Amino acid sequence: MDYDIVVVGLGPAGATLARLLKSEFKVLALDKKLTCGTDGFNKPFGGLLATDSQRSFIRFNLNLPLDILTNPQIFSVKTFDIQTGLVRNYQRTYINFDRHKFDLWLKSLIPNHVDVRHNTLCKNIERIIDGYQVTFVQDGQEHVITTKYVVGADGANSMVRRMRYPNHTVRQYIAIQQWFAEQHPVPFYSCIFDNTVTNCYAWSISKDDHFIFGGAFPKKDANQKFEQLKHKLEQNGFIFGTPLKTEKCPVVYPNRWRDFHVGNEQIFLIGEAAGFISASSLEGISYAFDSAEILSKIFNDKLKNPNKAYYQRTLKLRFKLLSKIVKAKILTTPFWRKMIMKSKISHIDNIQQ
């Protein structure tokens, strides 16, 4: 074998795994993002670091560099239920940051003993005796190598997952985001529910003089529903103006236990490729970190049956994600949402509107 492990994708999951693997392994890490600029990277992203991800930073003994943070830091999420007109403020301790810089920073922490290929697209993976043959294109040139293990860390649209589980489809929404010049007198985060346009939800974030509005919509009529919701929000005090850019991407929306796929036969899936994303908040960085950490320990300890060990050690994480599916089902059901918001539990009033 040319390599012990090939990691496909260097988002938070793949970059963390590549960083944590012991130097005794021969590791190849492929990522289609470029090392600088924003070309090759157009993932729409909220850009909020939740407390679970902050906990991973403690375990990793890492601090977040200041230049990754964005302005301002906001301490609550204004939650809108468009159907009932209810609005509530819930305290949140998210960190507002620049996703692109964050990903590049995580990649920069990968040690030199890992063979990292930027701007490289993994095209094909085929089973061979004792491992896999991986085909990738770097700078327009095709390469073929062999490896014992393949790790799919290639996100929502994972080609590794599709190759391993060709007959399984996970529910996906289309995330659409638009960026505007920030014009609101007080920047805010928001979370918007409106079952007439989506049975997921929409959000807005203020970031470095920009106002970002996005939402996850069923594939059919996604653009139309996005515009419809914008129109309704204008009547609720949102100020949009001319869009500066529009971004789109699929987002995995796990809906049942079997939407989580951890891999088999020397293939492993981590992060969003495994379906590890919270259905209730679309928070995925902490699960990307956790699954990468679990897998790194399994490889580093050279466990005899790594696929079985990974399946077992991610059980807790999958149960946690299952509880998020239940939470999402409650929050996206108009009756329960109305009850929760009406109760004013955890709501903090603005004294100055």
Binding residues vs ligand FAD (CB under 6 A): 8-14, 30-33, 43-48, 50, 53, 121-122, 153-155, 159, 175, 177, 214, 249, 251, 271-273, 277, 282-285, 288
Closer residue to ligand FAD in complex, CB, 248/338: 248
Which residue's Cβ has the minimum distance to ligand FAD? Answer: 284
Q: Report how far residue 90's alpha carbon sits from residue 78's, in angstroms, rounded to the nearest whole number.
A: 7
Neighbours of 248 (CB within 10 A): 15
Smallest separation, CB 344 to ligand FAD (Å): 26
Smallest separation, CB 156 to ligand FAD (Å): 6
Residue 57's Cβ-count burial label (10 Å; 0-12, 13-18, 19+) is middle
Shortest CA distance to 51 belongs to which of 113, 95, 14? Answer: 95
Cα 203-174-247 angle, rounded to 5 deg: 70
Query: Checking DSSP bridges between strand 48-49 and strand 95-96, what pairing results, if any?
Result: antiparallel
Closer residue to ligand FAD in complex, CB, 187/284: 284
Closer residue to ligand FAD in complex, CB, 86/119: 119
Asked if 178 and 213 touch (Cβ cutoff 8 Å), the reply is yes
Q: Which helix (H) or strand (E) holds 343?
A: helix 334-343
Look up residue 315 and give its amino acid. L
Closer residue to ligand FAD in complex, CB, 223/343: 223
Closer residue to ligand FAD in complex, CB, 86/138: 138
Smallest separation, CB 307 to ligand FAD (Å): 19
Rounded to the nearest angstrom, the gap between the alpha carbon of residue 299 and the centroid of all alpha carbons in its chain is 24
Closer residue to ligand FAD in complex, CB, 48/340: 48
Smallest separation, CB 260 to ligand FAD (Å): 13
Closer residue to ligand FAD in complex, CB, 126/351: 126
Closer residue to ligand FAD in complex, CB, 86/165: 165
Q: Could you give the 3-state DSSP secondary structure of residue 17?
A: helix
Smallest separation, CB 250 to ligand FAD (Å): 8
Smallest separation, CB 212 to ligand FAD (Å): 9
Check the CA dihedral 159-41-7-16 and report its sign: negative
Smallest separation, CB 81 to ligand FAD (Å): 20
* DSSP string covering 19-74: HHS-TTS-EEEE--S-SSSSTT-------EE-HHHHHHHHHHT----GGGB-S---
Asked if 199 and 261 touch (Cβ cutoff 8 Å), the reply is no
Smallest separation, CB 292 to ligand FAD (Å): 8
Shortest CA distance to 51 belongs to which of 75, 19, 84? Answer: 75
